[in-house]
């Protein structure tokens, strides 16, 4: 009996034959399946400080929604938030969102439109190079970076500079749509107080 071939293994690219009932596996071997699973887990991992607490929502595009029923959530209404495990299990929307709330001492520096073809714009590279090692993720659009850390930002700021920089700095009353871990950024949060002071 002849077998038809399709695109290759999602891990190594090896071509895959169609099996019984026309089913095509995603991976060529258990080794590739396990390696892909571990890579996925590493990409989805979060620093404990970021994951803990009842500060989680789901997102529908850029709109925050509740994990329990898919209705609108609010970055200022704790009743619409939940824990990370519950939000991660929810099937509502496209992905996760983390609420920044007063008193948590968490900040997010959002570098908009700084990634193209995986390369950082010069202005963004300067900021990343000044930043202590801390958890960083690629935004859901694939064109921005979220730099997470500790610090105090009582009022969010949007910064536009002549060099093309589009920077947003938030610490409360805002939710951030989570993307995916940037390269091998550490699973810990650094103190970003000095960097925030420079930017704002």
112: annotated active-site residue = yes
141: tokens are 């659009």
104: tokens are 């948590």
Cα-Cα-Cα-Cα torsion 185, 157, 62, 119, nearest 10 degrees, comes to -40
Other Cβ atoms within 10 Å of 15 Cβ, number:
10
137: tokens are 């993720």
User: What are the C-alpha distances in Å from 63 to residues 75, 92, 162?
Assistant: 10, 12, 30
| pLDDT score at 38 | 56
Pairing of strands 190-191, 145-150: parallel
Contact 134, 150 (CB under 8 A): no
Q: Is the pLDDT of residue 3 over 60?
A: no
Q: Give the DSSP H/E element, type plus range, for residue 64.
A: strand 63-65
Residue 169, SS3?
strand
Among candidate residues 84, 110, 137, 182, the one labeled active-site is: 110
Express each pLDDT in 162-185 by its tens digit: 988 999 999 999 999 999 999 889
Express each pLDDT in 114-156 by its tens digit: 999 889 999 999 999 999 999 999 999 999 999 999 999 988 9
Mean pLDDT value across residues 57-78: 96
Among candidate residues 43, 60, 68, 112, the one labeled active-site is: 112
| pLDDT score at 10 | 78
Among candidate residues 84, 137, 168, 182, the one labeled active-site is: 168
Residue 39, SS3?
helix
Please report the DSSP string for 65-87 in residue order: E-TTT--B--TT-GGG-B-HHHH
Q: What is the value of pTM for the model shown? A: 0.79
146: annotated active-site residue = yes
| pLDDT score at 189 | 97
């Amino acid at each position: 009996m002849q077998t038809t071939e399709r695109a290759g293994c999602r891990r190594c690219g090896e071509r895959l034959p169609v099996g019984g009932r026309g089913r095509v596996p995603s991976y060529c071997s258990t080794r590739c399946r396990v390696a892909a699973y571990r890579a996925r887990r590493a990409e989805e991992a979060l620093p404990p400080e970021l994951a803990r607490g009842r500060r989680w929502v789901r997102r529908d595009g850029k709109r925050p929604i509740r994990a329990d029923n898919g209705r609108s959530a609010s970055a200022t209404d704790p009743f619409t938030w939940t824990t990370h495990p519950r939000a991660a299990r929810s099937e509502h929307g496209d992905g996760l969102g983390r609420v920044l709330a007063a008193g948590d001492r968490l900040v997010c520096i959002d570098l908009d439109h700084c990634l193209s073809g995986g390369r950082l714009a010069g202005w963004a590279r300067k900021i990343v190079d000044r930043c202590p090692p801390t958890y960083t993720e690629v935004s859901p659009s694939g064109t921005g970076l979220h730099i997470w850390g500790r610090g105090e930002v009582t009022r969010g700021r949007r910064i536009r500079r002549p060099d093309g920089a589009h920077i947003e700095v938030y610490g409360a009353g805002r939710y951030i749509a989570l993307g995916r871990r940037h390269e091998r950024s550490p699973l810990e949060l650094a103190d970003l107080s000095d960097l925030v002071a420079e930017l704002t």
